[in-house]
A and B are shown apart, each in its own frame.
Chain A
Amino acid sequence: MTLRDIINKLLRRQPASASTARERLQLVLAHDRSDLSTELLDQMRKEILEVVAKYVEIDMDEGAVSLETEDRMTALVANLPIKRTLNGKIKLIEHASQEQESDNSSENTEQSIKNQ
């Protein structure tokens, strides 16, 4: 945010159009660069959640999968909130062998699959 943007905000003027252009471009290019539609992305989110849910208990409604682009690298970022037991342990599903400990009451696993 630049000084001009702040003044425009204070005066309730429209932001300078260059920043609008930049934001719109970044969004449209993230989608142009992947050939993924929103439906496919959503289906993938469900399938990824199902796989992860075999090992740890996760909040099926919370997980988000999104595309992020930087330097011509598009990353598929999955953000999956893991549920915890009352004593702070990650809830593992039966066949997963090791138990992990942590002080926080929730933790996110970030998975990213990089492509061109």
Chain B
Amino acid sequence: MTTAAATVALPRRVNPVEALRHTFTLAWRSLVQLKHNPLELLDLSIQPIMFVVLFTYVFGGAISGSTGDYLMFALPGIIVQNAIFASVTTGVGLNSDLTKGVFDRLRSLPIARSAPLAGRILADTVKQVWSIALILGLGVILGFRIHGGVQGVLGAFVLLLVFSLAVSWIAVLVGLLASEPEKVQIFAFVVVFPLTFTSNAFVPTDTMPGWLQKWVDINPVTILADAVRGLLSGGAAATYVVQSLLWAVAIAAVFAPIAVRAFKRRV
């Protein structure tokens, strides 16, 4: 049998401009989903709002003596916790595409192989920006004061996005391996919840027992929270920022290759 007699001459692969367009189209799709899925919008908006309000007024007095002081301390922590939780949704969405067959449909189309993943990550980054801005805006209304200027705020955004992107590789990996979206959610709860609570995101380290302090000090969530605090309040940030970035690089270096390999196996 000869295979020479192809009927039509077709391009062999996707050019980079097309690949980018595919990525944008798939990002659009993830964002349009929000319109029809109020639950996800709730996750992205109501949950952070509730966290800010509850933490400030319920714990504020007990932890910092006043709600205003507590807000200054905890708001960056709440932003960090929310960002890490949100990066898990990348895995949940990816997994639901895989288990519901949407991924197969996309794979049967002549589009860039990376686009389904890249589009999702791009859309999730947009959602991150929204959540961070929402929490920060609400914080300011409730009395959070930004002393870090525009650079500080921009720096905090960029740092949070870079860190979330790194974490989302873990989520992608879990999303590729889990048999159903609920399991990805359970993973988030079992791992992310303790990880963010055993940090100084919500409570100053010095109130904790000594053995816990040792862990809290090296917990990347603590380091990131301190970095964001520093950037927003105009205080010392450089060391924490560098350490956070190193963590992000380390997480990405370990998990991105594994996740990409797992992804390629399914593409």
A binds B: no
A interface, CB within 8 angstroms of B: none
B interface, CB within 8 angstroms of A: none
